Structure formats: structure tokens, C-alpha cells
Structure 1
Amino acid sequence: MDVKIYDKLAKRYDLATKIVSFGIEELWRRMFAKEIKKHIKNGILIDVASATGEMAKALDFDRMYLIEPSAEMVRVIVEKFQKLGFKKEDFEVVFEESPHIRMKKGQKEIIIIQDTAENVKIEEKADLITAFMALRNFDDLEKGMENLKKSLKPGGYFAIVEMVKSDSLFAKLILWYMNKILPLIAGMMLGMKEEYKLLGKSIDTLKEDEIIKNLKGFGIVKKQKLIFPIATLIIAKKDDG
């Protein structure tokens, strides 16, 4: 993943995402959060590739680790949660060699760690790991998922929404839009035509079977397409043993 792209996009990320996806990604996020709450309502959350923190905001667990490699995205997360009443600690510390920021609001706590899925180390075990539109940005999918799974409690959940390659006609039309039309829109809006060309390419290289293969030691409790066949929701539960 080229972090510089997300550094450049950070301040306009939420608005740009709404416009270029026609609001569909926000709908997917709401559907995702609603489905997760059927299985687990609270606890310790690790949200990977958090971008501006919208997934964590939607779930609102009592203790949340937000993993995000882009320094500019981290700044946006901090600003967003400060507006929600969270107070930032007066200092930053080193947590397993990755800078992190701790924020609190009453009994709720957020730890924002600037790192990647492949390298992050979290000693505390989570009840839930979420990866919303995240896996395709991993530099090494197998390494990233294996590393994250170490931080999940037995019986905990790994919840994923991802855009994956599909052979359906409608999925091919969506991919055509992302490859041909979306970069033009992004070029006019953001001056990021070339960067958005990478989005379609990343989707075209990730398959649902590859995600499932990397969930060894988990049972799939939910798998469905989200409105459009290019997006897949997967919720898996880690074996108790």
C-alpha cells in the first residue's frame, strides 16, 4: 500500500468516498455494523486500516484499537473523535515500536496506532477485529491476517467487508466504472486520477476464496453479498481451542 496516497487524500477522504461511491460505501458500513451487532454488541475492538475512523465510530465499543499507517489519516481520526468529546492524552508513547495516541471519554477508550496489519503488535486480546475495505490494501494478505489473528481471543470474531473480483456482468460493469470513470471524477475533484486507477486494479486482484483460505481456524458464521456482487461481507468466529 502506498501510504502517501492516503496522506494526500486524508482531509477530503470522507467526502470523496461518499461522492465517488454515490453513498453506497456508507450504506455498506451501516449494514456491516448492524450485522456485527447481531453477534457481538461490545467489548474490545481492533479496527484495521481505519482510515478516518468511521467504522469505529459506527460500532462505538468501550475499548477500541484503531490501526492506520497514514499519519495524516491519524490526524483526522484524532480531530473527529475530539469533536465527539474524546480527550487526547498530553503525550504520545512508543507501543511495541509503533507510535500511538490514547483518547478517553468517560469509560470509553481509543488507542490509535500508526502501523500496518503486517507489523502491528497488540498485547491485549480483542473480542472483534474489523477490516472494512482494508484487505486489498495489505502488502501481504497472508502475513497481515495471520498477525491480526494472534490478537483475537478464542471465540472472538473477525469481520470483513471487501470488494473482490467477480465474474458477474454487473460486477464487471462496476469494475469498468472504477477503472475508467472513477479516475476521471477523482482527477477533476481531487487531482488524483492516477491514484484512483489503483483502486480498480486492487479489486481485480483479490478473490473471495483467498480471504476464506486465510481464515483457517475460524468458522464462517455469515457470508453474503452487499447489494452489489462486487462487495462481500464475511463474519468468522475463531475456534475456542
Structure 2
Amino acid sequence: SEHSRQVDRQLNSSDHATRVQTLFGDLAPCYDRFNRLFSLGLDVGWRKKLVGSLTLHSPKKILDLACGSGDVSLLLQKEFSSAEVTALDFCRPLLDQAKARGVKQTVEGDALNLPFPDQTMDAVTLAFGLRNFADRPKGLSEIHRVLQPGGVFALLEFSPPPFPWKLFWNFYLFYFMPWIAQLLSRQGDSFRYLARSISQFPAPSDLYHELHEAGLKLLFTRSMSLGLVRLTVTRKI
């Protein structure tokens, strides 16, 4: 359909970053509500698992990349109360929400050109943001650059589920979610883009290869919610 072609052009266009920035700016007023609604409330538990994966490492300086409205940053501040948590996003309306919700240190910046010196972070977290990077290898190389040697990168991302759940997932993602979003907020096209970005994300084995190429060694990975979401924890080598 013409809608699908438009969404494909958005996903693959040269001004990808600008389009993603605009999309999340448009979604900002209803961002948290949609997160809870479309994940059936499960996203809260997923994020807690992400933060919990860092507990053994006791990080003192943590960067929460693509922080959105601050869900993970707030959990990090609570779990690691003596740590310095920096929340970074390139979408100003979402950063403003994060601040208003109590995130102490926010930075407006680009994940592909991080405004931090080399080897300054003990841990980096990234929840549901890697698939929106215009240049994934560049983003992973920036994460590697700012991590201390032995520092930890914890990633939470959607993952294509196995058959037969894949049939239900595709229906939910490409038809149900955009339809509800259109009804509630006229944001159907935005959710079609998000569906495409999820479906085009690499399979776990390909992702592990990309991480390894960036100098990030797999520590462990865990599949959650029938394989819909995957937690991947790596260490800088």
C-alpha cells in the first residue's frame, strides 16, 4: 500500500535521524500511555530486568542512551542511588518529560556522536532504541568508546518471536497497534514506522556478531515474554 511505501521511505531515507526525532516528538504527549497499553503493562518488568542485570557490576557512572521519558533512568537512580546517572536523548520533548518526572541529569545529544570523553562510563543501558539508529555499527562503536575497559552494555530490544507466536505478533504489530493508535491519537503512521523498525531488526545471532565486531563481548542473553523481547548484556573487551 502507499502507507507502507511511505513508511519504508521513512525507515531508509537519508534524513532518517530527523524523521525519527520528529516522530518521537509527535508521540511525546502520549508516549508513556502507549508504552503501557501496547506492552500490556509488561514493559515495566522488562525495564526492571535490564536494570537488575547491572547489580553485580555496581557501576558508579551510568549512561542511559535513548532515555525517552526516563523510565530506565528513574529505575537506575533508585537501584544505584550513589551512582551518577546521565540520561541522553535527541528528542527535546521527551527529555523535558524525563526531567519533570525526576531524572536528575539529562543531556540532549546524538547517540552516533556522544558528547562524552573516552572511557568515562562504567555501564551503558539502551532500551528499545538501537533499532532507530541510522547507523548501528557507528552507535555501537560510540558505546564501546565511552565505556571503561570491562564496562558493561545492557540492551533491551524487541526480537522476532518463534512460530507460531510470530503470526500473532505480526498481526498485533502491523494492524492492531496502528489501528488503536490512529483511533486514540491519529498516530497510526508513526506506529506503522515502529512496526517496520522492529521487523527489520537483526536476528539475535546477527546482532551478537555486530556487538562482537564493535568490541562488546556477550556475557548473557535472556528471552522474555514468549520471545518478544530480548535482554542482552555485554562487556567491553
TM range (shorter): 0.7 to 0.9
Ranges of 4+ aligned residues in structure 1 off by more than 6 Å: none
- In structure 2, give the amino acid aligned to 1:116: D
Q: Render the CA deviation track for 1:205-225: whole Å, top value 9, x for unaligned.
A: 112233212222232111110
Contact kept in structure 2, 1:154 and 1:238, CA below 8 Å: yes
Contact kept in structure 1, 2:161 and 2:226, CA below 8 Å: no
Q: Does residue 179 of structure 1 match 2:197?
A: no
Higher relative contact order (CA 8 A, sep 6+): 2
Shift of the 198–221 alpha-carbon distance from structure 1 to 2, 3 Å rule, reads same
Could you tell me which residue of structure 1 aligns to residue 233 of structure 2? 235
Q: Does residue 206 of structure 1 match 2:201?
A: yes
1:40 CA displacement: 2.1
Matches within 5 A, 1:185-200: 185-200=180-195
Q: Secondary structure at the match of 1:121?
A: coil
Percentage identity across paired residues of the two chains: 20
Among 36, 57, 72, which residue is 1:55 paired with?
A: 72
Q: Does residue 157 of structure 1 match 2:155?
A: no
- In structure 2, give the amino acid aligned to 1:230: L
Contact kept in structure 1, 2:109 and 2:115, CA below 8 Å: no
Q: Render the CA deviation track for 1:66-100: whole Å, top value 9, x for unaligned.
A: 11010101111111117xxxxxxxxxxxxxxxxxx
1:21 CA displacement: 1.5
Count how many residue pairs are aligned between Structure 1 and Structure 2: 211
Contact kept in structure 2, 1:126 and 1:152, CA below 8 Å: yes
Q: Does residue 35 of structure 1 match 2:53?
A: yes
Contact kept in structure 1, 2:159 and 2:198, CA below 8 Å: yes
Give 1 or 2: higher strand fraction: 1
Q: Secondary structure at the match of 1:148?
A: helix
1:166 CA displacement: 4.1
Query: Mean alpha-carbon deviation: is it higher for 63-72 or for 39-48?
Result: 39-48
Q: Render the CA deviation track for 1:88-116: whole Å, top value 9, x for unaligned.
A: xxxxxxxxxxxxxxx4xxxxxx2x22122
